Amino acid sequence: GKFTCGDGPTPEAEAFNECLHALDCAMHEEMRVKVHPSDPITLFLQQMIPHHENAVNMAKATLKLELLTANNDPEGEIEELLWSIINNQNMQIYKMTAWLANNGRASVAEANCGYDGDCVADTSIALLVVIG
């Protein structure tokens, strides 16, 4: 399935749509983790980490593709918000990852149990945009 409906009005907008779709597919695959038998906090953190990573990657893609203009962000509020998402959520990812490790819990990768959904996307395109 797709996480957006319709096509972008321009080739650039459609490319961004496809990039976000690929990022969302990767997030859903990474969020599928084994349930910890007695600790809902571990499950929460193991799912929240990829969720935060996706938000960071979406913000990076928005910045990297230079989608902000004087017309849609004249005061720079959205750019400031994007940088805030990147910085704050990266710190939260670090803290959540450290908590799992310091408390003997499985990392997200260790807890992953494979993806059985219907989300298909070329994640290499999204990674190229985000990482460069």
Q: What is the pLDDT of residues 9-20, one digit of tens each?
A: 787 778 788 888
Query: Is 3 contained in some domain?
Result: no
Query: Is 48 contained in some domain?
Result: yes
Query: Is 96 contained in some domain?
Result: yes
CB count in 10 Å sphere of residue 9: 8
**What domain count does the chain have?**
1
Query: Is 5 contained in some domain?
Result: no
* pLDDT for position 126: 63
**What sign does the CA torsion over 111, 116, 118, 123 have?**
positive
Query: Is 125 contained in some domain?
Result: yes
Query: Is 4 contained in some domain?
Result: no
Question: Tell me: the pLDDT tens digits for 35-55?
Answer: 877 899 999 999 999 999 999
Query: Is 73 contained in some domain?
Result: yes
Query: Distance (Å, rounded) from C-alpha 82 to C-alpha 56?
Result: 8
Range of the domain at 82: 11-131
Quick one: pLDDT band at residue 106, thresholds 50, 70, 90?
very high
| Residues 110 and 32 sit within 8 Å (Cβ to Cβ) | no
Query: Is 35 contained in some domain?
Result: yes
Predicted structure pTM score: 0.85
Query: Distance (Å, rounded) from C-alpha 43 to C-alpha 45?
Result: 5
In whole angstroms, how large is the CA radius of gyration of the chain? 16
